[in-house]
Amino acid sequence: MRALQSCGFETVAADDDRNDPAMIRASKAGFRFRSAEAIKVENPDLPACEEYGALPVVVEEALAT
């Protein structure tokens, strides 16, 4: 991801695991996706998305800002 950013690309990240908050925070748009409750509690600052159909919508909205 950082290599893509160094080439001028904007990145979007979505994941559900504990090892990904840094990647999500470093992206232009980042989301927790169907994360376990413990991960949500540990990372309340990260936007969450629970449904596949909603993911493209929240990504588009984030990139439009």
Query: Which residues, at least 6 apart from 56, have a Cβ–Cβ distance to it below 8 Å?
Result: none
Alpha carbon distance 50, 54 (integer Å): 7
> In this model, does residue 65 exceed pLDDT 80?
no
26-61: per-residue pLDDT in tens? 998 888 999 888 888 988 998 888 999 998 898 888
Q: Kindly report the pTM of this predicted structure.
A: 0.73
> In this model, does residue 6 exceed pLDDT 90?
yes
